[in-house]
A and B are shown apart, each in its own frame.
Chain A
Amino acid sequence: MLIVDQLRKDDPRLRLLALAVLLGMSLLLTGLWYVQVVSTRRYQASLQNQTFRTVRIPAIRGKILDRNGLVLAENRPNYSLDLYIEELRPEFEAAFTRARAGRRLSRATRTQLQAATRYAVVSNAVQRVARLLGKPMDLTEREFRRHHDQWPYRPLPLLENLDAQEIARFLEQPRSTPGIDIESQPVRFYPAGTAVAHLLGYLTRDDQVRDDEEGGFNYSLPSFQGALGIEYAFDKELAGKPGIKSVVVDSLSYREAETVWLTARAGQNVVLTLDLPIQLAAARALRSLGASVRGAVVVLDALDGDVLALVSSPAYDPNQFVSPIGSEAWAKLNDPKLQPMLNRATQGAYPPGSVFKLVDALACLDCGALTPASITNLFHSRGYYQLGRRAIADTAPAGDYDFRRALARSCNTYFIYYGLRAGRDRLLTWAHRCGLGERIGLSTRQETAGYVPLPEDVKGIWNEGNVANLCIGQEIAVTPLQVAIMTGAIANGGVLFWPRLVDRVDPPEPGLDDQATRHFPPQARGLLGAAPLYLHLVRQAMLADTEDPENGTAFKAFHARDRVTPLLKDFRVGAKTGTAQVKDVHGRLREEITWLASFGPYETPRYVVVVMVEGGGSGGGTCAPVAREVYQAIEQRLAPRAGTRPQLARDN
């Protein structure tokens, strides 16, 4: 080395010193090389770790629309007042300096005093805003400390759900309040509220990491997850892809800057087959029986299985799940008798009662127990059916019945007689063919299969008495939706459809997005396998139920007081009423389940309306008026007259 060589050769000690210096500098060089080149990744990782906090930004949740694009679920801005702690730092320091008053403090008291003055500053700021808004606001020291210790980089929510007046007052204040600002968050809103509650489901707060997300995050902005219904079944589509932003924090974890790494991708829109005006009418009709009536209405398009309305009552308000629910509200939601969370249309299984006589009729006609020729034969009923030593009561009076009268009058004796001739196995097989007791495969977490045993399940267990009970719709349990599908098959000439709830999933901005619309076309499930003539005979008998003034159990509901003028202008409706008994464990009658299964118009069957009410009076008295109101609403939809344009969701 040039410089070293210049050292005098005759001074070994100086050269030794030079060597030592060189060695020392090389040691530093090696050390720096090791730290800065070899292990730089490790230190960069530590730097990232301490400097960045990642925050999940949930995507805007997709809308849920009815078949005509009316909004069933959307997002609304929710304004909240947030405190940005880092902006108050100069005030913290000033207050601390004042409080210290030049004293020398030990480390512990210093920390304590800092915390106390910090809270004092924040508390003052909060009180200033509270006075401004004329609304008491409370931030306890514990809350503030907890927030400050854990997430000082994160805004502290002070007041949520600001109304327009409060926003105006805050924004119009003469001088701005440092550190406090208005923030808006999208919040789910269901314009129709309770009327569409069950089918839509509800959302629950969910700030956990999901499996399919990249990496983790330090905290999440309020995110929601579908817990039930369509919100649950299509959660993935509706939720979209959350974004990630990173917050740069300083050594005290206060926020310094923010950058968005990954923009959130809005969720897709789910378009249902539901027809909102019909749904609203059905809900209104059902609720007209009483505020806490327990029942369900299903309106189906018999030609393709589209669910036009699906109402269950009593209902919860899906909007109330957006914010935390109080214990009183919880107790109400979990009322053991009313069970508002239960979707009775798909999740409740009830004995079908006389509605099952439709299955009896098909089974008897199919096996020849009844023939098109023999159905006009008169059968004499004594007013009860004697089975061994047991007499099964009949609500229909004693007299002579042919098939039409027996169905319209709902004569138990007639159907037990012929049902027993058809036999247990045929009845149960036909029940399954009609879709009773069969899973539909709803993805909404709201389904029960009900209970209809297979013939081999009850072989040797059921006696004739059980089969007689089956003939009048006891011993088994079915859901209103299953009954609707069966009625639809009878109405449309024998095609059993899968009920269709969702028409399609649309990308949030069609055309701008590479995502394509996903369609869910109607799907036939199978054929009933009954001759068209038999179905026609059954439909004819069902028409008598609403049109035969003598015998029809639903006649009164479908006609004006003069017993002549039909209440429906364009529709002729075929119906079957039912009343089933639910007994408790001691065999005592607990209550009656009343039914009406119907279709219309009679000539070209299209719509199926099924009404079920727990604890109703009778099928004809309780359920038929509800169905008639629904048909009236359908009539209105089909032929909108002046002044009765289809109702918009917002008008509700």
Chain B
Amino acid sequence: MRSTPFTERHARVDWPLLVALCGLTLLGALFIASATLVNEGEGGALWRHAWFRQVVNYGVGLIAGALICAVPYHVLSRWSMVAYWAMILLLGLVLLVGTVRFGARRWISLGPFPFQPSEFTKIAFILALAHYLSRPPDELRRPWVLLQALGMTVLPFVLILREPDLGSALVFLPVGTAMMFVAGVPTAFLRRLLGGIGVVIALLLVDILFAPPRWQVRLEPYQRKRLMVYFGKDFAPANANETERQRARQEQRDHSYNVEQALISVGSGGLTGKGWRHGTQNALGYLPRAVAHNDFIFAVIAEESGFVGSVLVLTLYTVVLFCGLRTAGQARDRLGKLVAVGVVTLWFSHVFINIGMNIRLMPVTGIPLPLLSYGGSSVVCSLIAAGLLENVYLYRRLY
């Protein structure tokens, strides 16, 4: 019954999406090369260079994305629950045997390739939730169904929060909410859900920022400090003496350092930037070299290519996002629509949080910028997610 999509007359490939993705990979490779120039120098073996490894990541990601397209998404979704629980298992495993880097247990070592389950969990989660929510709309009015959907969202959220990786964990909330919203979950429930999330976040913030130490929720110290930096709160307790106050001030400077320097990088880029490989913030180490090519790659791009470059990056992302939204609108069933919505929200959350953090719109969280940040898991997952969009697009007219 099912004819192959390749015989259809309408477009098989979502060209704008593909062009935007290629543009982003190109930018990514270029600016990772620029960001790591000082550390790695020019010449030498290709494998030594981060930009080359990133290109390999792109290759792997594209292949994975293409493979995903080969199997229609509704076939994939049948296995989504299995994938979801497998990933939950892996997340549990990470907490037990994961590799610690930069004070967080986020990676599992597979030979020479570190692997970050939280990234792949996002894909599995989108598929699984879409699968779960694509049941008849009437069923979505049942509280039990809704609670289960909520549970599916909160479980990975909590596990990833324990790693700890606040940024990645937080992404599950908008993705889950958006999918439930588009799936047609009653507004009243959503309102209560959002209200509840809002109240919890507000309470947490008040607790973290203002409550006396004994009453505070146990949070990683650096997370608390990042929030304090974002809200511009003095590190020193009210009853601190002069030396304590001075130490607190020093600490505050240290912790606001990355944000300050990212802001200086972005701001000093001006309209047209300083030119590729001519950024000084990264070369002179003001923008810490450990983060310049991953979490703060946008600062490098913005410094070297200016507002023009920033607009280009935003435009490319907007094209990806709206291709995704269009695909959601054209999808032949609710499953496809929800998958597309999930992917779009995932990308959007990453882009908004990461770029927002560079211009002090958001607090600092270690969340990668899709395709631009250096990192295998992130790149492969972003491209798999894009592959899912393409998948929904390909099979949009198959009845």
Contacts and interface: CB of A to CB of B under 8 A. Distances in A.
Interface of A: 1, 3-4, 6-8, 11, 13-14, 16-18, 21-22, 24-25, 27-29, 31-37, 39-40, 42-44, 46-47, 50-51, 248-252, 256
B326 interface: yes
B131 interface: no
B339 interface: no
Given A3-B322, A44-B267, A47-B280, A29 B329 contact: no
Contacts of A42: 267
B371 interface: no
A32 B285 contact: no
B181 interface: yes
B359 A31 contact: yes
Contacts of A22: 318
A639 B268 CA distance: 74
A51 B280 contact: yes
A25 B314 contact: yes
A20 to B, nearest CB: 8
B176 interface: no
Contacts of A50: 264, 286
Contacts of B361: 27-28, 31
A6 B314 CA distance: 21
A257 to B, nearest CB: 10
A107 to B, nearest CB: 9
17 contacts: A3-B325, A7-B326, A8-B329, A17-B341, A21-B325, A25-B314, A28-B359, A31-B359, A36-B266, A36-B271, A36-B306, A37-B271, A40-B268, A47-B264, A50-B264, A250-B285, A251-B284
A3 B314 contact: no
B269 A248 contact: no
B318 A35 contact: no
A639 B302 CA distance: 81
Contacts, number: 131
B284 A35 contact: no
Which 6 residue pairs across A and B have the least CB separation, nearest first?
Answer: A43-B267, A251-B285, A7-B329, A250-B284, A3-B322, A36-B307
B123 interface: no
B271 A28 contact: no
A49 to B, nearest CB: 10
B311 interface: yes
Contact of A18 (B181, B263, B317, B325): B325
Nearest to A34: B359
Residue of A6, A7, A14, A42 ringed by the most chain B CB atoms within 10 A = A14
B15 to A, nearest CB: 13
B356 interface: yes
Interface in B306-365: 306-307, 310-311, 314, 317-318, 321-323, 325-326, 328-330, 337, 341, 344-345, 348, 351-352, 355-356, 359, 361
A36 B270 CA distance: 5
Contacts of A3: 322-323, 325-326
A403 B328 CA distance: 129
B23 interface: no
A553 B352 CA distance: 105
Contacts of B268: 40, 43-44, 46-47
Interface residues of B, number: 45
B321 A251 contact: no
Given A25-B318, A251-B286, A35 B267 contact: yes
B325 A43 contact: no
A260 to B, nearest CB: 19
B271 A40 contact: yes
A36 B273 CA distance: 9
A549 to B, nearest CB: 87
B344 A43 contact: no
Contact of B322 (A4, A24, A33, A256): A4
- Say whether chain B's binding surface is mostly helix, strand, loop, or mixed: helix
B72 interface: no
B269 A40 contact: yes
B155 interface: no
A16 B328 CA distance: 13
Given A13-B184, A32-B266, A36-B302, 5 more contacts: A6-B329, A7-B325, A31-B356, A40-B270, A251-B285
A44 B270 contact: yes
Nearest to B310: A32
A14 B337 contact: yes
B182 interface: yes
A249 B267 CA distance: 19
B121 interface: no
B263 A43 contact: yes
B258 to A, nearest CB: 11
B181 A37 contact: no
A28 B184 CA distance: 29
A252 B264 CA distance: 17
A50 B306 CA distance: 20
Contact of B314 (A1, A32, A34, A256): A32
B36 interface: no
B252 interface: no
Contacts of B285: 250-252
A36 B310 contact: yes
B285 to A, nearest CB: 4
Nearest to A37: B307
Interface string B126-159: 0000000000000000000000000000000000
A28 B269 CA distance: 16
B284 A6 contact: no
A36 B352 CA distance: 17
Nearest to B345: A17
B267 to A, nearest CB: 3
Contacts of B116: none
Residue of A27, A29, A32 ringed by the most chain B CB atoms within 10 A = A32
B284 A256 contact: yes
Nearest to B325: A18
A46 B310 CA distance: 21
A37 B348 CA distance: 24
A47 B273 CA distance: 13
Contact of A21 (B264, B267, B269, B348): B348
Contacts of B341: 14, 17
Given A14-B341, A17-B181, A47-B264, A248 B325 contact: no
B37 interface: no
Contact of A43 (B264, B311, B345): B264
B314 A28 contact: yes
Nearest to B340: A14
B325 A47 contact: no
B385 to A, nearest CB: 15
Residue of A25, A33, A250 ringed by the most chain B CB atoms within 10 A = A25
Contacts of B325: 3-4, 7, 14, 17-18, 21
B299 to A, nearest CB: 11
B174 to A, nearest CB: 9
B178 interface: yes
Contacts of A25: 314, 317-318, 321, 351-352
A213 to B, nearest CB: 27
A18 B348 CA distance: 11
B281 interface: yes
B37 to A, nearest CB: 14
A44 B263 CA distance: 10
Contacts of B270: 36-37, 40, 44
A16 B345 CA distance: 13
A35 B352 contact: no
Contacts of B344: 17, 21
B24 to A, nearest CB: 15
B129 to A, nearest CB: 15
Contacts of B317: 25
Given A6-B330, A13-B181, A47-B280, A28 B322 contact: no
